Amino acid sequence: MTPAVALAAILVYFVLIFIISRFSRHNTGGGNFFGNHRTPWLIAAIAAVGAPVSGVTFISVPGMVITKSFSYLEMILGFAVGYTVIAYVLVPLFYRKNLTSIYGYLEDRYGGATHATGAWFFFISKMLGASVRFFVVCIVLQNLLFGPLGIPFSVNVIIAISLIFLYTSQGGVKTVIWTDTLKTLCIVSAVIICIVTMMNALGMNFSSMCRAVTSDPCSRIFFFDDPKNGLYFWKQFIAGIFLVIATNGLDQDMMQRNLSCRNSKEAAKSVLLGAGVQFVIIFLFLMLGVLMLRYFKFETSGAEGASAADVISGLSGSTDNLFPTVVASKGMPSVAVFLFVLGLCAASYSTAGAALTALTTSFTIDILKADRKKEGNSLDRTRKWVHASMAVCMGAVILVFNAINNQDAISAVYLLASYTYGPILGLFAFGMMCKAPVRDRAVPLICIAAPFLSYALKTWLKLSFGYTVSYELLLINAAFVMVGMALVRMPVTSVPCRKQP
């Protein structure tokens, strides 16, 4: 029964997606694929609510309560500060420069080598991050649908990537915005109805559910007791500020929605509204995680006092399995499976489609510089070739990650981000804080060295002092880049000054 319900949910979602794609594909040839300034800010805001929510959020966040409680909210509070910086610092800067790809700023500020470095680091960051997120979804769908039907994982990935490629190949950024709007509606509906379903399964009403969640040890939010612990509040909060600046404000995938608004003021409103609602959505996912954990203990394992280790063992060694395991259990109604798969598809396919579009935009404009060399049908052909190549690369990375994955997906995403977005954060931060020009040719070496130095420092701190470097690794990485940039800067009078922001 479960495979049939899962298949029905996938078909319903893709029917809606292809309707949206057909609706939004008009006037998207050539440069229009990359976006324009015509999107109403409220639509962009609704899209922005769901944009950071991926299949990883859907799968990993509920299971996080088993080992990390509600500590994710410490980072989300930092996100709120970071989104404010994006809205009032980065968005106006990018609009003033009329950028289609935000990495054009790096060429204005430093030169061609730095521009290419930023674009390549974005390419690596987004390709790895999007692949990790989509890998999680493919695993779940393999267990719920493709596996029972005897379809191998590689075919699962090929089908998924092909569908994403087809619906994004015409509409571009416009399709991304409208699919993100659908995604937001699906995710919010799915998580709320899943909470109601869990309440009924546990025999609770709203007030008893609230008491159960707040009294559960897994609902602890703040951790101030051990600075060496990776969950320590100030480490999570400060890392959250800069993680969201790097992975949203300095990410072409996320910023392409905001850059489609009519002006910077509307884009800023979109950013802030999306940030506020995102906090609520993450809180709902964590609350759902507590309810599902209780259900798993009481109904599945029958051990009310089961330890975290026992629960993880019952989930085949991964907290990511909590949501799909509970939903697929015999006591759950078919509507729970349908909503789970529908929400999962909305969260994951939309995220992968947006990443594919952003990778196409950045590679075409920043690396190939095709918008300067070609126009019309010629530019459109190049864009389609790049789009297909990005799809193939994403599928290949997913298959590789399937062979080496050994940790919960949300941790993998942020760990990768700490290494790959750190140089991008350092480049932008130095450019906005210091007006001195730098030796452009030295920048690629600095950005390549920074992640290795960060890893070495992280290892030394752990071995020498027992200090666990968490997501503040992003700041360490960016700091190494900024120090390197300072070492290769030149006197302002020695070269013609580039136009400053």
> Whole-angstrom Cα distance, residue 423 to residue 119?
11
pLDDT of residue 39: 66
> Has residue 242 got a pLDDT over 80?
yes
- How much is the pTM? 0.73
> Has residue 96 got a pLDDT over 60?
yes
75 Cβ contact partners less than 8 Å away, ≥ 6 residues apart: 236, 237, 239, 240, 243, 471
302 Cβ contact partners less than 8 Å away, ≥ 6 residues apart: none
pLDDT higher for 478 or 180?
A: 478
> Whole-angstrom Cα distance, residue 385 to residue 154?
23
For residues 482-486, give the mean pLDDT: 94
Tokens representing 188 are 């919010």
- 2-21+40-406 CATH fold: Sodium/glucose cotransporter (1.20.1730)
> Has residue 35 got a pLDDT over 70?
no
Where does the pLDDT of residue 481 fall: very low under 50, low under 70, confident under 90, or very high at 90 and above? very high
> Whole-angstrom Cα distance, residue 74 to residue 235?
9
- Per-residue burial over 111-122, b = 16 or more CB atoms within 10 Å of its CB, e = otherwise: bebbbbbbbbbb
> In this predicted model, what pLDDT tens digit does every residue of 382-424 receive, in sequence order?
888 888 898 899 888 888 877 765 445 556 666 777 888 889 9
pLDDT of residue 304: 56
> Whole-angstrom Cα distance, residue 122 to residue 128?
10
Contact of 288 with 195, CB cutoff 8 Å = yes
Q: Which amino acid type is present at position 34?
A: F
> Whole-angstrom Cα distance, residue 364 to residue 373?
11
The string of DSSP letters for 327-369 reads HTSTTS-HHHHHHHHHHHHHHHHHHHHHHHHHHHHHIIIIIS-
Which of 108-122, 192-206, 256-270, 383-397 is predicted least confidently? 256-270
- Per-residue burial over 460-487, b = 16 or more CB atoms within 10 Å of its CB, e = otherwise: eeeeeeeebbbbbbbbbbbbbbbebbee
pLDDT higher for 290 or 374?
A: 290
> 438 has which bridge partners?
489
pLDDT higher for 406 or 236?
A: 236
Contact of 12 with 342, CB cutoff 8 Å = yes
DSSP type of residue 500:
P
> 261 has which bridge partners?
39
pLDDT of residue 367: 83
> In this predicted model, what pLDDT tens digit does every residue of 322-333 receive, in sequence order?
888 888 777 777
pLDDT of residue 501: 45
Q: Which amino acid type is present at position 373?
A: K
* Phi–psi pair at 52, nearest 5 degrees: -75, -10
Locate the domains of the chain by residue range: 2-21+40-406
> Whole-angstrom Cα distance, residue 287 to residue 214?
9
Tokens representing 409 are 């997906």
Q: Compute the mean pLDDT over every residue in the chain, rounded to the nearest whole number.
A: 80
Q: Tokens 């999306």 belong to which residue?
A: 274
